[in-house]
Amino acid sequence: MSVTAIEEITRQFEIALREAGTVAQLDAMRLKFFGKRSEFKAMFRALGGLEPEERKAKAVVLNAEFDRLEREFAARLAEVGRQESEARWRAEAVDITLPGLAPRRGAWNPVTEVEQRCLAVLRQLGFEFRSGPEAEDPYYNFDALNIPAHHPARDLQDTFWLDTGAVLRSHTTTVQARVLAGKPALPIKVASAGRVYRNEAVDATHLAMFHQLEGFWVDNGLSLADLKGVLAFVVRELYGPKARIRFKPKYYPYTEPSVGLDISCTRCGGDGCDACHRVGWVTLMGAGMIHPNVLREFGYDRPGVRGLAFGWGLTRMTAQWLGLSKIRQLYEVKQRQFQYLDREQM
Q: How far is CA 138 from the centre of its chain?
A: 32
In whole angstroms, what is the distance from residue 176 CA to residue 132 CA? 9
Selection from 177, 160, 178 nearest residue 169 by Cα: 160
Indicate the residue type of 224: L
Selection from 136, 146, 16, 111 nearest residue 69 by Cα: 16
Selection from 258, 240, 241, 236 nearest residue 249 by Cα: 258
In whole angstroms, what is the distance from residue 1 CA to residue 39 CA? 10
Query: Residue 50: which residues within 8 A CB-CB, separation 6 or more?
Result: 58
Residue 214 annotated in ligand binding: no
Dihedral sign for Cα atoms in the order 251, 254, 258, 262? negative
Strands (E), the chain: 128-129, 135-136, 167-168, 188-197, 209-220, 245-252, 255-264, 281-290, 305-313
In whole angstroms, what is the distance from residue 29 CA to residue 35 CA? 9
> What helix, strand, coil percent values describe the chain, rounded to 5?
45, 20, 35
The half-sphere exposure of 280 on its side-chain side, counting CA atoms within 13 A, is 7
Query: Residue 188: which residues within 8 A CB-CB, separation 6 or more?
Result: 179, 180, 216, 217, 218, 219, 307
Residues at the binding site for Mg(2+) are 256
Residues at the binding site are 256
